[in-house]
Amino acid sequence: MAIDPVCGMEVDEEQAAAQYEYKGKQYYFCAVGCKDKFVQDPGKFLKEEKQER
């Protein structure tokens, strides 16, 4: 299972609504809307992801 970097929801990679490769890493999304938000500003969501750890 992957974590949608926008909303934090668990996503099954094989059934993800959308996916996107950024800097060599594949990201999976629960909805196309989450992917669209990520594509507009990936750094915003990746910074938030690192801060939570």
Task: Give residue-wise pLDDT tens across range 1-22.
Answer: 999 999 999 999 999 999 999 9
- Give the pLDDT score at 38: 97
Place of tokens 């750890």: 53
Q: How confident is the model at residue 47 (pLDDT cuts 50, 70, 90)?
A: confident
Amino acid at 16: A
Domain range for residue 38? 2-52
**Has this prediction a pTM greater than 0.75?**
yes
Distance in angstroms between the alpha carbons of the first and the last residue of the chain: 17
User: What whole-number distance in Å separates Cα of residue 51 and Cα of residue 12?
Assistant: 24
Write out 24-40 in H/E/C secondary structure: CEEEEECCHHHHHHHHH
> How many percent of the chain have pLDDT more than 70?
89
- Give the pLDDT score at 53: 45
Number of domains composing the chain: 1
